[in-house]
Amino acid sequence: MRTDVQISICGSAGEGTIAAGDILRNALAAAGYRIISFDAYPAEIRGFGKCVARLRATTEQVYSLKEKSDVLVCLNDEHGIPHVGDVRDFGAVIYEAKSITRLTEGAHVSAHVRPGQVPYPLALRELSERATGALRSRNLVALGYLAGLYSLAPEPFLRIIEKKFKGKGAVAEANRKAFEAGRVVGTQTFKLDMVAFGPPTAGLQSVMLSGNAAVVDGCLDAGIDNFFGYPITPATTIMERLATEMPKRGKRLVQTEDEISAIAATVGAGYTGARAATATSGPGLALMSEMLGLGVMAEVPSVVFVSQRGGPSTGIPTKTEQSDLNMALYGSPGDAPRIVIAPTNVEGCYRCAGKAFEMAERYQTPVVVLLDLYLSNRYETVVMPAKPPFEPNCDKPLPKQDLGNGYRRFALTSDGVSPRALPGTAGGMHVVTGLEHNEFGRVNEQPENHEAMSKKRHEKLLAALQHPDFTHYKRFGDEGRVEIGLLAWGSTFGECLAAMFRARTEGMRCAAMKVVMLQPFPAAAVAEFIDQCDVVLVPELNYQGQFASLVQAQTGRLVHRYDRVCGGPMVVDEILAEMLRRVAAGRQKAA
């Protein structure tokens, strides 16, 4: 039996909502289910904002969350009520059992449960108080109840609780008791809903990672030497985790005074041959753009992770968006080509992070890895490769005979990449500069030199389109001619894929293509895809259709834009509706 259960937990900040979600997803992952999970919480550090922990546990590969949850746990009436409508028919709503007479009309979850949804009132407060003497264990009582109701093995939960509260003595014990108290009640409850967990995938060895955590693992596995960063939501957790992990490996991380300094130090470290990176969001990338241009001109490797958030300006720091694509592609003075890649899921974050170091070194250029808040903060189970799939050294070999007085740091070669002498190399002394220069690195403003060097800087990147062991783009769904094709990048692709699979079950011939390599652009492959579709729809989370414009400019073909700036991920139903509209219009036109 296949399992596909989505659980939402709603509560106020401070009620342990996010913590409960964290224990639940880790326990389910430990049990052998695949997980995708994305929490929403308020920007305020302390307060009474609404928190929603949401996770989907499955036995098959999934690409997005579902619009409707199967189970809703309300730790709090006020915040739970708006989400009752998000529970599917015959799904479960678990809430605090209260005497209705003491509440104003409509203030209790039970008043909002619709016919078809199955209510499970639970004495959360009482059970928590009886088990631990305090009310704050309600979240663990709820988890225990879930485990009991759906006959989930308690061991993974207890292990995760143990691990999470290790070193906090009585807290772990209290949480274990609360969990057990809830579980007993759960097992005694008569289950009426149509939600069920089948057996998990046997032997699934996966780890639970957020997108940002996967970036960190990718950096570490690729042998990152130096990191320089400045805190900014939603990229900060990359630096935080690296700050813990890098020193353990004898690697160095420095928190700089601003983003300009962060990228400058990254370029400085890259110049010495180190694998160096920084991480930021849109406002930080804006500050980095001049130095990225120097990285292009001086042909120095660097890696910049950019987790996009709502813009422009300070924008909506805690909401997701894909509106920094243009800045990542073009944001520097002059013709400043750099590599831009964008993973579409958490595993992709790991691979793109590691591969970015390879590419930066191989093509001697800045590499921008575009993430967004939804991808940075969401959790997925990832099956990690047995050994890091990254090359430890991608520098083009420097022949000894090239060194000496006539050493040409920027020699014009067939592939445009010039072997570099790292500082410390005898006979390799040279100056790199942001001024236009000749093969020796000496300032040269002659027109034929500027043309030759501009060509070199652009054309050397084309080889990245064939960079080994990297998925530059990938097509899913029906082969050959299709009625409609979805073309997407970044985190949005997950929802597109889900929409495409749904559309196929509704009888549409359709396909979806993800594009990971955004610059240089795989124009031929994308054009071929477009040519096989009656209609192409490009869903993305920005107002300007930035990716659609890129596609049109690169392929010379028209596509239909579907732009949303809702602060959240794309909604699968809405993509599907748009697909139906487009296909219907096409059919009408044809008839």
Name the one residue in this structure whose structure tokens are 């834009």. Answer: 561
Give the pairing type, strands 34-37 and 50-58: antiparallel
Q: Which is nearer to another protein, 431 or 462 (CB)?
A: 431
Among 49, 317, 428, 568, binds another protein (CB under 8 A): 428
At what angle are helices 154-164 and 138-149 packed, to 10 degrees?
Answer: 160
Among 169, 424, 480, 507, binds another protein (CB under 8 A): 424
Among 145, 179, 230, 271, binds another protein (CB under 8 A): 271
Are 546 and 490 in contact by the 8 Å Cβ rule? The answer is no
Length of the chain: 591
Alpha helices in 32-169 (DSSP H): 77-84, 124-132, 138-149, 154-164
Contact status: 276 vs another protein (CB under 8 A)? yes
Neighbouring C-beta atoms of residue 444, cutoff 10 Å: 16
Are 547 and 489 in contact by the 8 Å Cβ rule? The answer is yes
Contact status: 258 vs another protein (CB under 8 A)? yes
Contact status: 222 vs another protein (CB under 8 A)? no
| CA 67, chain centre distance (Å) | 19
The H or E element spanning position 475 is: strand 473-477
Backbone φ/ψ region at 293: left (φ over 0), alpha (ψ -120 to 50), beta: alpha
In sequence order, the 6+-apart residues with CB closer than 8 A to the CB of 164 are 19, 22, 23, 26, 172
Candidate ranges 12-20, 248-256, 380-388, 512-520; the one touching another protein (CB under 8 A): 248-256
Q: Which is nearer to another protein, 223 or 567 (CB)?
A: 223
CB of 454 to another protein, least distance (A): 19
Rounded to whole angstroms, how far apart are CA atoms 29 and 571?
Answer: 25
Candidate ranges 60-68, 132-140, 262-270, 568-576; the one touching another protein (CB under 8 A): 262-270
Name the one residue in this structure whose structure tokens are 């790292």. Answer: 422
CB of 410 to another protein, least distance (A): 13
Among 92, 143, 214, 291, binds another protein (CB under 8 A): 291
Contact status: 216 vs another protein (CB under 8 A)? no
Q: Which residues pair with 517 in a beta bridge?
A: 341
Q: Which is nearer to another protein, 326 or 425 (CB)?
A: 425
Among 181, 232, 294, 342, binds another protein (CB under 8 A): 294
Contact status: 204 vs another protein (CB under 8 A)? no
Q: Which of residues 361-420 bind another protein (CB under 8 A)?
A: 398, 400
Among 228, 379, 493, 562, binds another protein (CB under 8 A): 228
| CA 72, chain centre distance (Å) | 25
Contact status: 272 vs another protein (CB under 8 A)? yes
CB of 362 to another protein, least distance (A): 16
Q: Which residues bind another protein (CB under 8 A)?
A: 223, 225-226, 228, 244, 247-254, 256-258, 260-262, 264-276, 290-291, 294, 298, 398, 400, 421-435, 442-443
